[in-house]
Amino acid sequence: MLVIRPITKADFAALKQIAIESGHGFTSLPVNDQRLTQKISHAEQSIIADVSQPGDQGYLFVLEDSETGEIVGTTGIEAAVGTSTPLYHFQQNTIVHHSAELNVFNQLRTLTLCNDYTGASEICTLFLRESYRRNHAGRFLSKVRFLFMAEHPKRFSDRVIAEMRGAADKNGQPPFWHWLQQLFLTIDFPTADHLIGIGKKAFIAELMPRHPIYVGLLPEAAQQVIGQVHQNTKPALKMLESEGFIHKGYIDLFDAGPTVEAQLKQIKSVAESKKVPVKITPIQGDYTLAVANTKLENFRASFAKQAQYDAQQGVLLISPEFAELLQLEQGDMARFIYLDKVSA
């Protein structure tokens, strides 16, 4: 079975391998030993911190195969982005050029550098090894963050965002990047990607355009990918949209991928999750449930049909094996959602 738990220092080698496999554009996991070590240490401190409101905490979880001990995926949450290191986006706007005398009315799209998402919580760092992309594993890896956030809401902002990877050409390069490189940055994409990944973002404020950019002046290839996601990211975007996330016009600086947002309490998996006591008994349910305990440092979550909600008794029936995996005992509270049906 697959189980989610908080990352520890012992997971460094596995996290580095995931960083290597994820490739360029996955800036939250740079292939940099020092940065990865810092991320793990920061996550370990965040999960045990006494928190009354979101701050500079980062929660990073690993997906482990309980039979082999192999780490097969990762998923994370940043409690409040942009508070220690600025978070930049382009905001899409429309401005009007109007001449009554000439009877000319033009609506023109612009891009403006901004920090509008400062303080928002961000779901991030989701990666699942290809051989495990089946049987609800990807869906679970995305939704398990909402179970954690639903259980510990004071640790997160009311506003939650997700940055989606932008479109790329046949060489894996974002077409949107090329005009930026030529006019403003004069460094290649892997270098910029690496600098952001290790937290060195000062060059953005120093070199990026400070004034609104007219979209119509950009190369056609750059215009076409604004707000578009990478082919491999479309399923993730569709899943978030089903949770209630929407795109309000903010895009990534370098690949123009959309940033989507939602209010924490209105996220479907948060709103529909149920927190109930567990009753341990042999059970094989009809539906796949994602179930999490209510702990912090010892947070555990998994998914299986070895659980079934008894609405009449108001309890979650789970098998002894599933309970052991989740570190749950008789009468403990657990939070769950359905993965393959609309919850009642």
Sequence-distant (≥ 6) Cβ neighbours of residue 109 within 8 angstroms: 92, 93, 94, 214, 215, 216
pLDDT digit string, tens, across residues 170-199:
887 889 988 888 888 777 777 777 677 666
Same domain, 170 and 250: yes
Strands 121-128 and 159-163, sheet pairing? parallel
Q: Of 24, 152, 194, 230, which is the active-site residue?
A: 230
Beta bridge partners of 162: 260
Same domain, 60 and 153: yes
pLDDT above 70 for 24: no
Same domain, 228 and 283: no
Same domain, 57 and 176: yes
Is position 109 within any domain? no
Is position 108 within any domain? no
pLDDT digit string, tens, across residues 296-344:
999 999 999 999 999 999 999 999 999 999 999 999 999 999 998 754 4
Same domain, 140 and 14: yes
Name the domain boundary from 240, 268, 296.
268
Is position 208 within any domain? yes
Higher-pLDDT residue of 149, 236: 149
pLDDT above 60 for 251: yes
Same domain, 167 and 136: yes
What is the value of pTM for the model shown? Answer: 0.90
pLDDT digit string, tens, across residues 120-159:
999 999 999 888 888 899 999 999 999 999 999 999 999 9
> What is the CATH number for 81?
3.40.630.30
Please give the residue range of the domain that contains residue 334: 273-338
Cβ burial 87-96 (10 Å sphere, 16+ → b, else e): bbbbbbeeee
**Phi and psi, residue 324, nearest 5°:** -65, -40
Is position 132 within any domain? yes
pLDDT grade, residue 285 (50/70/90)?
Answer: confident
pLDDT digit string, tens, across residues 84-98:
888 899 999 999 988
Same domain, 257 and 224: yes
Instruction: Enter the tokens of residue 79.
Output: 């409690």
* Listed residue (285, 302, 299, 284) closest to 343, CA to CA: 285
Same domain, 76 and 147: yes
Count how many domains the chain has. 2
Same domain, 261 and 333: no
Please tell me the predicted confidence (pLDDT) of residue 344. 45
Is position 131 within any domain? yes
Our answer to whether residue 152 is catalytic in this structure is no
pLDDT above 70 for 220: yes
* Listed residue (166, 163, 167) closest to 260, CA to CA: 163
Name the domain boundary from 235, 268, 301.
268
